[in-house]
A = this chain, B = another copy of it.
């Protein structure tokens, strides 16, 4: 993909990391026929084989070959691996190649990209597709994973407008809606609405699983427990990385949450039914309003 996107059809897409996110990108663009060829790079032979079998990628290549041949590269690895991936591809990048990513945090990814890519960071347009869920691996991939989903793009000052627009089209081409946001705002927002609930869900699952009567408890757990803990089935490695990558914003949210929950605890201890009702009423009304948006 040259930065003059309208004139030349892009030739080769390189996907680094062919799990659920990467393989679904491959399937979506194969279906949309945006690229002539889709290359895949990965650590897991099982995922690579699955991605080939599903038709998400045409060929398995090395990181170096991927960098040499691709016009667009999308990095779909746990955020902690961003630096080493970008560092490895930097010497081999085509001059007009563009890179985007699918990382759930952005300030740390941008720090890693600036260090790894130097001046070539202008070719890197950070993004975060809000899609996925608890399942992982190429076997869960689907061509419509991004259909109607949101993708946050956090352009850098170094990015040329045409480069940002080309990557914008790359995500729109999978049926996604795109939004722009600063990396800092992105990380604060997702700490609150995604990273915090994941940690809280892991914690509840741990508490119930570690109870002496865990079997009785798990045997009676119903729909509320199922929904609340669905995200506790997520990839532990990915969520360790996200928690550390977005440490500052996440700790701020966690401290606020611990404080708020302690307040509810004290209302229950003091049997302050009025205060509890007020708090629950506001939460319930806001949740219903949100659902109805």
Contact = CB atoms under 8 A, between A and B. Distances in A.
Interface in A185-243: 185, 188-190, 192-194, 196-209, 211, 213, 216-218, 220-237, 239-240, 243
B199 A213 contact: no
> Of residues A193, A196, A222, which shows the largest number of chain B Cβ atoms within 10 Å of its Cβ?
A193
A256 interface: yes
Contact of A257 (B204, B231, B243, B277): B204
B227 A279 contact: no
Nearest 4 interchain pairs by C-beta? A236-B280, A209-B286, A202-B283, A205-B283
Interface stretch (A8-16, A166-174, A262-270): A262-270
B254 A221 contact: no
Contacts of A234: 284
Interface stretch (A30-38, A60-68, A88-96, A245-253): A245-253
Q: Tell me the dominant secondary structure on chain A's binding face.
A: helix
A228 B207 contact: no
A288 interface: yes
Interface residues of A, number: 87
Copies of this protein in the complex: 2
Contacts of A54: none
B277 A237 contact: yes
Contacts of A227: 227-228, 230-231
A221 to B, nearest CB: 4
Interface in A264-293: 264-265, 268-269, 271, 273, 276-277, 279-284, 286-288, 290-291, 293
Nearest to A150: B220
B202 A243 contact: no
> Of residues A206, A209, A211, A217, which shows the largest number of chain B Cβ atoms within 10 Å of its Cβ?
A206
Given A220-B190, A225-B194, A254-B261, A244 B276 contact: yes
A143 interface: no
Contacts of A199: 261, 264, 268
A118 interface: no
Contacts of A152: 220
Given A199-B264, A276-B240, A276-B244, A251 B229 contact: no
A258 interface: yes
A236 B254 CA distance: 24
